[in-house]
Structure 1
Amino acid sequence: MGFQHDTLVWFSKSFGLFYLIGLSVIVLIYAYWPSNKKQFDKAAEAIIDDEDKPWR
């Protein structure tokens, strides 16, 4: 007994939707986790510190 094309398409669309929603939630949790603030602030200011020098 094989799978029908429509069944595989439905499963892949549903699984892909839940996969992307789950991945988005994980990324948002990581980005807004309080212990990561120091790391993100340091990275944001590292770019600004290099702009005070003349371009060569």
Structure 2
Amino acid sequence: MNIDHNTLVLFAKSFGLFYMMAVFACVVVYACWPSNQSKFDRAARSILEVDGE
């Protein structure tokens, strides 16, 4: 089996594209999952809270 450089580059680019699309989809699903809303709301408010005053 002889694999030339162009075939290997095409496979690597395609695999990288589909891998990043899958990671992006997983992140979007995680961020939009209803049970995670309280975590994100708490994180958004924690920047505004001042503990020392």
Give the gaps of 5 or more residues in structure 1.
none
How far residue 19 of structure 1 moved from its aligned partner, in angstroms, is: 0.3
TM-superposed deviation, 1:2: 3.6
Please list the CA deviations of residues 1-20 of structure 1 after superposition, one character each: whole Å capped at 9, or x if unmatched. Answer: 44210010000010011001
Instruction: Report the Cα distance in structure 1 between the residues aligned to 2:20 and 2:3, rounded to whole angstroms.
Output: 24
Normalising by structure 1, we get a TM-score of 0.84
* Shift, 1:51, TM fit: 8.4
Normalized per residue, the structure richer in helix is: 1
Q: Unaligned regions of 5+ residues in structure 2, if any? A: none
Instruction: Read off the aligned partner of 2:49 and give its amino acid letter.
Output: D
User: Per-residue displacement from partner, 1:15-48 (whole Å, max 9, x unpaired)?
Assistant: 0110010000000000000000001001110110
Matches of 1:31 and 1:16 in 2, distance apart? 22
Does 2:18 match 1:34?
Answer: no
Find runs of 4+ consecutive structure 1 residues off by over 2 angstroms: 50-53
| Residue 24 (structure 1) aligned with residue 24 (structure 2) | yes
Q: 1:2 and 1:41, CA in 2 relative to 1: closer, same or farther beyond 3 A?
A: same
